[in-house]
């Protein structure tokens, strides 16, 4: 990463800390709600809830993907693109304002529409989401277009393309649901929507960021050069898979089998990435407790388990629930939480540094902004919740414990982020005297 001082991060150009933090504070709230929606009233209701098409599962899935993962992504990219890509987001205040104002009501409306379907609320929510995501994609996309191409920026471009496709399919499926017109097989198109979301949006983004973050923060060896083809190859495979499923079988014999084989290639690629990253991390130089790294380890192991579940020929009664839990709560939420525990302390520290440098005030060490013990407690809670939700696939009544635990884990995350915010404000307001002081 080479960023020329004049063109990259300038303190006057970096967005104020309130921009990413409004997203970071809202994200755990949506995660918390996702857990609450899954609370079963009884052990027998649990079996019904964990069906893939149940209202609760659909609502929770979108609260986690758009509400939690999407919010953190938006907050992080708006602030970190200048750092990681050396290119600022133009009008970031406006972009963030539009995104925040539309995406949050949109997600709430969408989730409620699964539970209490009202056509105009669903259509209105989809419209709000479309506006907010478009604003974000335009801002982030503009920044990325101007950025120097490297494995990370390439992966981010693919991730944003993946988000666009996922969102478009989502709007189509949602308007299907609301207006009662059908574009085809709903399970089929939902699977396409899900794969684009998990692989080309979430997977590509996490991989791309990890190429920089893992060696930088954990003092591991760098990723091997061949990994710069990982995300482009993933994108190509998902495109081919989509085409193989969309084309009529009479066009080319053996298309359905081709789709399965392509999916297998995607699985192999993902497994390769997970194993490589775990190995790099095992060769790290620093051996002290590192919360973010532990979350990453949990997430990568969950990814490997998900891939195994996907390929397993065993007749799993609740395979889709298992996949959803392992991929979303296990892989995506764990890794994004790990990233949040890096970004939040860094941003608080960096903004305090730039605001207080001339005043001689003490600035807290970055490691103390979200204390290790707080991260450890969250890690344990999250891991137990994940185990519980996973085991629910084999013993549904466990949901009675697992869902509240997941909500608790999200509450702990929210608490940690809120504390960091309060710490920032306490330090900042401690210096508010200049224009009232007597000369």
Residue written as tokens 């296990």? 330
Minimum CB distance to another protein, residue 166 (Å): 32
Question: What minimum distance in Å lies between the beta carbon of 351 and another protein?
Answer: 11
Alpha-carbon gap, residue 25 to 348, rounded angstroms = 14
Nearest distance from C-beta of residue 419 to another protein, angstroms: 18
- The residue (of 300 and 352) whose beta carbon lies closer to another protein is 352
Cβ partners under 8 Å of residue 323, min gap 6: 306, 309, 310
Q: How far is the CB of 68 from another protein (least distance, A)?
A: 25
Tokens of 63: 């609260």
| Alpha-carbon gap, residue 138 to 309, rounded angstroms | 37
Q: How far is the CB of 10 from another protein (least distance, A)?
A: 6
Looking at beta carbons only, is 214 or 379 nearer to another protein? Answer: 214
Shorter beta-carbon distance to another protein: residue 5 or 313: 5
Smallest distance, another protein to C-beta of residue 73, A: 21
CA–CA separation, 245 and 257 (whole Å):
10
Of 305, 384, 377, 306, nearest to 341 by C-alpha is 377
Residues making contact with another protein (CB under 8 A): 1-3, 5, 8-11, 14, 83, 86, 216-219, 285-286, 345-346, 349-350, 353-354, 357-358, 365-367
> Are residues 187 and 246 in contact, defined by beta-carbon separation less than 8 angstroms?
no
Which lies closer to another protein via its Cβ, residue 261 or residue 283? 283
Closer residue to another protein (CB): 8 or 338: 8
**Mutual angle of helices 71-84 and 334-356, in 10-degree steps:** 50
Judge contact between 417 and 340, C-beta under 8 A.
yes
- Non-local (6+) Cβ contacts of 279 within 8 A are none
> Please, which residue, 177 or 342, has the CB nearer to another protein?
342
């Amino acid at each position: 990463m080479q960023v020329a001082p004049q063109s990259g991060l300038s303190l006057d150009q970096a967005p104020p800390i309130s921009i990413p933090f409004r997203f970071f504070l809202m994200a755990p709230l949506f995660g918390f709600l996702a857990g609450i929606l899954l609370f079963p009233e009884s052990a027998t209701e649990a079996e019904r809830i964990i069906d893939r098409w149940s209202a609760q599962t659909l609502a929770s899935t979108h609260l986690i993907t758009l509400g939690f993962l999407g919010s953190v992504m938006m907050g992080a990219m708006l602030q970190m693109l200048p750092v990681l890509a050396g290119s600022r987001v133009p009008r970031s205040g406006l972009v963030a304002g539009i995104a925040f104002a539309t995406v949050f009501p949109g997600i709430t409306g969408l989730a409620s529409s699964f539970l209490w379907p009202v056509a105009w609320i669903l259509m209105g929510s989809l419209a709000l989401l479309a506006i907010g995501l478009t604003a974000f994609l335009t801002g982030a996309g503009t920044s990325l277009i101007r950025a120097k191409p490297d494995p990370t920026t390439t992966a981010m471009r693919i991730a944003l393309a993946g988000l666009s496709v996922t969102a478009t399919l989502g709007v189509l499926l949602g308007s299907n649901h609301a207006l009662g017109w059908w574009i085809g097989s709903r399970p089929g198109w939902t699977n396409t929507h899900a794969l684009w979301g998990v692989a080309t949006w979430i997977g590509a983004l996490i991989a791309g960021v990890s190429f920089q973050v893992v060696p930088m923060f954990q003092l591991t060896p760098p990723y091997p050069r061949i990994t710069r083809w990982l995300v482009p190859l993933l994108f190509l495979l998902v495109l081919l898979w989509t085409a193989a499923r969309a084309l009529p079988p009479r066009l080319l014999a053996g298309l359905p089998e081709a789709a399965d084989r392509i999916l297998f290639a995607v699985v192999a690629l993902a497994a390769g990435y997970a194993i490589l990253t775990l190995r790099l991390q095992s060769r790290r130089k620093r051996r002290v407790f590192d919360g973010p790294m532990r979350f990453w380890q949990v997430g990568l192991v969950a990814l490997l388990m998900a891939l195994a579940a996907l390929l397993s020929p065993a007749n799993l009664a609740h395979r889709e629930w298992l996949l959803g839990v392992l991929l979303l709560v296990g892989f995506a939420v764990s890794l994004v939480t790990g990233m949040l525990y890096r970004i939040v302390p860094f941003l608080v520290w960096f903004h305090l540094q730039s605001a207080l440098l001339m005043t001689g005030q003490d600035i807290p060490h970055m490691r103390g902004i979200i204390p290790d013990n707080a991260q450890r407690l969250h890690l344990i809670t999250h891991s137990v919740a994940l185990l519980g939700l996973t085991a629910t696939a084999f013993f549904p009544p466990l949901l009675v414990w697992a869902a509240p635990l997941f909500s608790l884990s999200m509450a702990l995350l929210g608490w940690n982020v809120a504390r960091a915010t309060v710490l920032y404000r306490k330090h900042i307001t401690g210096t508010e005297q200049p224009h009232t002081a007597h000369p």
